[in-house]
Structure 1
């Protein structure tokens, strides 16, 4: 059975009332349909008098902006002439004036299956605004590109809430964006008038490359599915002084720093832990921008050999703990601000719990840390069953 996205279904079989209401769309250029046209073009063609406004997440409508507090601005989409309201910058959610233009907000966003990817938080904030003003929200669902089975990581603590995690979730949650919307709406009390057009024909065990859908990079540093697979762990490097490979053609797969000797690091890693499903290939690279731009960094490229066995969050925590032990005079935690938060360490926002950082610093084995958060993860899995 072919995989059909929510966008495809609403274009083919729209509700009878849809052409008669004013529509807004929260989306970006990675959401494509027939002919690889972006969602808003297809919706504008199908409902020419209905689509009234576009809303863009982090990185902008065209996905052109780099990471962390590089804002996009309001503009007009050049082909349709529709106003585009940025939800990453001066505002993080639609204003009442924005929502006065519409009756129904469609949400069709790409996601990468990782809590810290900000698009899900932007969706949640838009749902909050819609609830306050009595606007309906319809999520057009898509597959989780890294599958809907594997779940990993500690739950975010409520006092660590931010745009890289508005509500308690593990790092790898195994939900689609539409399932997340239902989870947020009910469990966390957003209470908006929410409908979901589910993805059809997708098996939860499937990764994106077997869906038959076309991968369009959702943001500048997630160029491939391989990037998305390592992202639930490697995104933690954003909270450190290690290069996460930005400024190279393999971001998040490549990582390192000028002070790292990859041969020494690899020996230390393999002496302490087994890292199933992945090979760390030692290498050197020179970022063209971002951290350590122009400097040669020693490090690794991650090569995932078995997606079922590979645990991205566990793997990166093991790597970080070993680097902290080997290079205590060189390794540093990145300092605020990060994603519009000025009073907490970026790494703590990313993990969602300062205890993870404290455990790494205290040389508590990552296997033991994993056991500590196991209870919360089991509770999440039980609740999650009601939304999949």
Structure 2
């Protein structure tokens, strides 16, 4: 009987061991599978260009439009954010179709998009094309009109950010004004920008504050692409007197974020080198109206902002932490700008870290400056030119500045122009292509 008992215990032990090992192996296999699956679901920040279903307007231009321009004369306004990124292709394609490039239009940051400041002379000679480069903000309207009459086509192709204060829209307006009732055709290659998900926001420009960064008749955030803006301006202000052709981007649906398109970001100006810089610009650009640096001339423009007097920036970051529904956060940083306010000085400040693109840039701009003024009452100042405050020229009126000075909440301020946004949203709808 003793032997039988030992035998039974051994059988039970073997069964228990087998069951344990089976369960262990099952759990190990399950963990392995879970880890393997996790390895295949690494977060994807943006779509790779090779997976993109979006076709750029410049590709359509080279394939379908350029051949129809054979033997014609052309004026070109571009930089490396458009077809200007490949000058050799421009030269070879134009030579193939015997298209004569007569003039170049100089945008704010030059043909290569590298210049920090405006050119001091109206005309320079471009070394890439060996053609005159006319700086549109320096030449007279009458001179520009004579120049456009000398060509068959004006080609406009630059990346914008969907804001009136980004001066490329002012260039487009000046070209269209010059082209009114002429035989010269305007071709605009359209671009998708970082504010495509936003409706028109802000206020229109008060003529008292009119400047080169505010000439286009839209709200601060336009709600339109460059091509849509051209169609809108031609219809609403020029009675369709410009012979206009807009080449749209194919495969894009409004509401897609820029990162979802697979379109590579090509730097349109020195201080928007990254998509994050362009997204942050939508709100941080209004900081150019106060006495801080926005990181111009650093490795992170429109990501860093601060000043030598911004001591204890953690306090400001803490106040800002309740905003944005966790779409962004701010961390402390030290930097030395090589251009703009506080050039060459060590600045303490904050870094804007973008988590999601779906934030309200007008709310952030207002609260950021309001809290900055509250936190540093003895050091904060509104920057002023010879006539107007800079923030008034960016916003379009003195309403933004006076609302903060009067201690109004953002909701109180926003309610003063909410109807203008609603009306503008309805007004532009007929001109939206996506």
Deviates more, 1:118-127 or 1:95-104: 95-104
Q: Does 1:26 align with 2:83?
A: no
Give how far 1:299 is off. Answer: 1.5
CA distance in 1, matches of 2:402, 2:82: 39
Aligned to 2:380: 331
Structure 2 unmatched ranges of 5 or more: 1-51
CA distance in 2, matches of 1:216, 1:93: 33
Aligned to 2:421: 377
Deviates more, 1:220-229 or 1:198-207: 198-207
Aligned to 1:149: 197
Structure 1 unmatched ranges of 5 or more: 338-342
CA distance in 2, matches of 1:315, 1:157: 21
CA distance in 2, matches of 1:94, 1:29: 26
Give the conservation status (yes or no) of the 8 Å contact 2:72–2:98.
Answer: no
Give the conservation status (yes or no) of the 8 Å contact 1:153–1:370.
Answer: no
Give how far 1:331 is off. Answer: 1.3
Q: 1:289 to 1:75 in 2, by over 3 A?
A: closer
Aligned to 1:126: 175
Written as runs of structure 1 = structure 2, the 5 A alignment for 1:330-369 is: 330-336=379-385, 343-369=387-413
Deviates more, 1:201-210 or 1:51-60: 201-210
Structure whose residues are more often helix by fraction:
2
TM-score w.r.t. length of structure 2: 0.80
Aligned to 1:295: 345
Aligned to 1:262: 313
Give how far 1:162 is off. Answer: 2.5
Give the conservation status (yes or no) of the 8 Å contact 1:154–1:170.
Answer: yes
Q: 1:72 to 1:279 in 2, by over 3 A?
A: farther
Q: 1:202 to 1:305 in 2, by over 3 A?
A: same
Deviates more, 1:73-82 or 1:286-295: 73-82
Give how far 1:102 is off. Answer: 0.5
Q: Tell me the secondary structure at the aligned position of residue 212 of structure 2.
A: coil
Q: Does 1:95 align with 2:144?
A: yes
Q: Does 1:320 align with 2:369?
A: yes
Q: Tell me the secondary structure at the aligned position of residue 70 of structure 2.
A: helix
CA distance in 2, matches of 1:366, 1:221: 28
CA distance in 2, matches of 1:56, 1:42: 21
CA distance in 1, matches of 2:262, 2:246: 22
RMSD: 2.4
Aligned to 2:98: 48
Q: CA offsets, 1:87-118, max 9 Å, x none?
A: 13345786234224312211112111222100
Give how far 1:377 is off. Answer: 0.6
Q: Does 1:217 align with 2:293?
A: no
TM-score w.r.t. length of structure 1: 0.89
Q: Does 1:5 align with 2:56?
A: yes
Q: Does 1:74 align with 2:118?
A: no
Give how far 1:249 is off. Answer: 0.8
Q: CA offsets, 1:116-173, max 9 Å, x none?
A: 10001101101100115442211111212x1422135322234133221224423222
Q: Tell me the secondary structure at the aligned position of residue 189 of structure 1.
A: coil
Q: Tell me the secondary structure at the aligned position of residue 14 of structure 1.
A: helix
Q: CA offsets, 1:318-356, max 9 Å, x none?
A: 11011112222211122215xxxxx32211010112111
Aligned to 1:196: 246
Q: 1:324 to 1:58 in 2, by over 3 A?
A: same
Deviates more, 1:111-120 or 1:51-60: 51-60
Deviates more, 1:47-56 or 1:121-130: 47-56
Aligned length: 377
Give how far 1:375 is off. Answer: 1.0
Q: 1:92 to 1:229 in 2, by over 3 A?
A: farther
Written as runs of structure 1 = structure 2, the 5 A alignment for 1:262-281 is: 262-270=313-321, 273-276=322-325, 277-281=327-331
CA distance in 2, matches of 1:211, 1:38: 26
Aligned to 1:340: none
Of residues 246, 252, 264, the one that matches 2:302 is 252
Q: Tell me the secondary structure at the aligned position of residue 229 of structure 1.
A: helix
Give the conservation status (yes or no) of the 8 Å contact 2:200–2:424.
Answer: no
Q: 1:351 to 1:39 in 2, by over 3 A?
A: farther
Of residues 360, 368, 380, the one that matches 1:311 is 360
